[in-house]
Amino acid sequence: MKCPIDGTPLVITERSGVEIDYCPQCRGVWLDRGELDKIIERSAAYSAPPSPPQQQRGYDDQGDHGYRKKKKRGGFLDELFDF
């Protein structure tokens, strides 16, 4: 099958039991019937409950006022679309 955008042959890969067609040129992703539902179901099952809040610290020399950026944990979709 060819990419509907640029005509490049699509590459088929399987991630977590879901078959994904993608274009290596434009990086477009195409799913067959029912595959989006599988992704949504697995994404919901993969989500972990939120971690408990951390104790707030006071002002320090770096001027962050006790606030730190939380590192985002990769989710199901990150694994799924990591080509």
In a domain, 23, yes or no: yes
H-helix or E-strand containing 28? none
Reported for 31-37, long-range contacts at CB under 8 A and 24+ positions apart, including other chains, are none
The pLDDT tens digits for 1-10 are 899 999 999 9
Confidence of residue 62 (pLDDT cuts 50, 70, 90): low
15, part of any domain: yes
Does the residue 25 lie in any domain? yes
Domain range for residue 9?
Answer: 1-29
Based on its alpha-carbon atoms, the radius of gyration of the chain, rounded to whole angstroms, reads 20
Q: What is the mean pLDDT of residues 57-64?
A: 54
Residue 13 lies in a domain: yes
The pTM is what?
A: 0.50
Instruction: State the total domains in the chain.
Output: 1
**Residue 51 has what DSSP assignment?**
P
Distance CA 67, CA 13 (A): 41
**Is 4 a domain residue?**
yes
